[in-house]
Amino acid sequence: MIKVLLFAELEEKAGQREVEISAEEMKISDIRIYLLNKFPQLTVINTAMPAINEEYAEDEVKAKAGDNVAFIPPVSGG
């Protein structure tokens, strides 16, 4: 199982902060597609930067069961 975290606008649009995907492994780009199918209103996910286990990652990278994947919208701290 892969845990996916959604923040800020993504969390609001999806109505939840966590999504669990039953898969042994999945490419980040496929996770985006999966989420867009599940939440068609989540188009802003295309401007979010993926992270795996708290490090920024590329779309081609595969997440594995047990990983925490996060989609990071443009940040606005400070």
Partner 1 sequence: MAEQKNFLITEEVINIQEVVDKVTDRNAGAINTFIGTVRELTKGKKTLYLKYDAYVPMAEKKLAQIGDEIQIDFPEAKVAITHRIGELGITDIAVVIAVSTPHRADAFTASRYAIERIKEIVPIWKKEHWEDGEEWIGDQLEKKPYPSGKPEKEDLQ
Which positions lie near partner 1, rule CB under 8 A? 5, 7-9, 11-12, 46-49, 51, 54-56, 70, 72-78
Select 20 or 54, whichever has its Cβ closest to partner 1. Answer: 54
Report yes or no: 65 and 2 within 8 Å, Cβ to Cβ: yes
Q: Write down the least CB distance from residue 23 to partner 1, Å.
A: 22
Minimum gap (Å) between residue 17 Cβ and partner 1: 9
Q: Do the Cβ atoms of 45 and 10 come closer than 8 Å?
A: yes
Buried/exposed 29-41: b ≥16 CB within 10 Å, e otherwise: eebbebbeeebee
CB of 63 to partner 1, least distance (A): 15
